[in-house]
Structure 1
Amino acid sequence: MGVAALMVSGVTLVAPALLPSGPAGVASAQPAECADVQVVFARGTGEPAGIGRVGDAFVDALRPLVPGQSVDVYAVNYPASYDFLRAADGANDASAFVQNTVATCPDTRIVLGGFSQGAAVIDALAIANQPTLGFTNLLPPAAADHVAAVAVFGNPSIRLLGGPLTSLSPQYGYKTIDLCNGADPVCSGGDDRPAHSLYVQAGLTTQAAQFVASRLTSEAPITTLAGQTHG
């Protein structure tokens, strides 16, 4: 299936050395330690543990756009290596974290994000409807109610699946911004390999933060029945 292609192919066109580091349902109350916003971000190939340079810039741009709201960040735990099948580890880890957040902090608005191979991790969460290539911990449909926005950068789905996540996922597409930097070959038919390392410089992390903030400020906390979509 298409998600399998994403997990196998990952980001084979661009060397990561270009990138410097840097139970679902309704609950009666929100625990005091729950954040207003929970960002879950998967870094790109070859980046050190954390959310990577693109993730850092995205979160730094987002925080001042949602004043008065607490923002926590979770770095998806996966190798982000050339063994692209291990992207399934990231999808399983991110899914487990999201499901735990939904269960323990039902009014927290979740933001999913990823760069390059990390974007493929997020694609798996949003697109897969059956286990594939080691991704077994699929998100239940009701989890989509708790995800306020999705931001992906340099997403291989555009090249491998023929379209951005906005058109590939009925549940998540309308709340997604899927950004490709010019002729970045990972996410387009172009051949501008350096473009893959310039998402921060091109202002795309700021653009994504503005999109996500607009969704966070226009949506109320989740208090409705599981399975109901929020527009």
Structure 2
Amino acid sequence: MTDQHTVRRALLMSGIGAVAAAGLIGPGAASADAADACPDVQVVFARGTAEPTGLGRVGEAFVDDLRDQLGGRTVTASAVNYSASYDFLQSAPAGADDASAQIQATAARCPDTRIVVGGYSQGAAVVDLITGDPAATFGFGRPMPAPVADHVAAVAVFGNPAGRIGRILTTSSPLYGAKTIDLCNGADPVCSDGDDRPAHSHYVESGMVTQAADFVASRLAGSVPAGVLVNASGTAG
């Protein structure tokens, strides 16, 4: 099976938890473009497959936890504007283009703002395409310009389908790997060879969202030197 087929299968499976969680998901945070002043921290987050428009359940929880961690700093968040549909070959690249445009616009308009990039499930694949896609998965091949990396303080992805082919951001992205946390919940089949399908819906309950917020807060404080992969067995590396 080719890498693209493996990733596509993982993306198909990523819809499992999104539909089940649909009734629990609130509206997305306001876009940074609506803010008059530049925030201290801007989060750009891509939701998972079939989740309603906005940050998604994982994204909302991640932003809430990060705000709690950062205390008095101003933290704004914007959702990647894409369909998050089951037509992954169209949906994920479209999300990648929107995420890239948002991040580059923030870097240009607010050069002192620290940018945090995140994604869950298909949203993690969106992040892969713009930060760590040397093989041009799905024919995308449009990573963000290298200077943008200086504005991105941290990357957090959950249930990343690239894990199915061993292409983890912590090791595959020269510019972003050291500032990335890539989390796979137990035997989540979207990001591992496991078969625990409910695990894909439980990133908030597992504590991994809080773990990611801790990592990002440490990156923003300048105290974490290297990226973190938490694999299917739950060990850090």
TM-score category of the 2 structures, normalised to the smaller one: 0.7 to 0.9
TM-score, length of structure 1 as denominator length: 0.83
Unpaired runs of at least 5, structure 1: 23-30, 220-231
Task: Supply the AA of the counterpart residue of 1:19.
Answer: A
Structure 2 CA distance for aligned equivalents of residues 105 and 3 of structure 1 = 37
1:17: which partner in 2? 19
- The total of aligned residue pairs comes to 209
2:234: which partner in 1? none
The alignment status of 1:215 with 2:215, answered yes or no, reads no
**Larger deviation: 111-120 or 122-131?**
122-131
CA deviation vs aligned residue, 1:181-209 (integer Å, no higher than 9, x gap): 00000001100000000000001100000
Structure 2 CA distance for aligned equivalents of residues 128 and 150 of structure 1 = 14
TM-score, length of structure 2 as denominator length: 0.81
**Larger deviation: 51-60 or 32-41?**
32-41
Once the two structures are superposed, the pairs formed by residues 183-222 of structure 1 within 5 Å of their partners are 183-218=187-222
The alignment status of 1:48 with 2:36, answered yes or no, reads no
Unpaired runs of at least 5, structure 2: 26-34, 224-237
Task: Supply the AA of the counterpart residue of 1:124.
Answer: L
2:235: which partner in 1? none
SS, match of residue 40 in structure 1 = strand
Higher helix share: 2
Tell me: CA distance 1:197–1:131, structure 2 relative to 1, closer, same or farther (3 Å).
closer
2:226: which partner in 1? none
Higher relative contact order (CA 8 A, sep 6+): 1
RMSD (Å) for aligned C-alpha atoms: 2.3
SS, match of residue 186 in structure 1 = coil
Q: Does the aligned pair in 2 maintain the 1:7–1:87 contact within 8 Å?
A: no
Counterpart of 2:155 (choices 143, 150, 161) is: 150
Tell me: CA distance 1:4–1:33, structure 2 relative to 1, closer, same or farther (3 Å).
farther
Structure 1 CA distance for aligned equivalents of residues 192 and 180 of structure 2 = 18
SS, match of residue 13 in structure 2 = coil
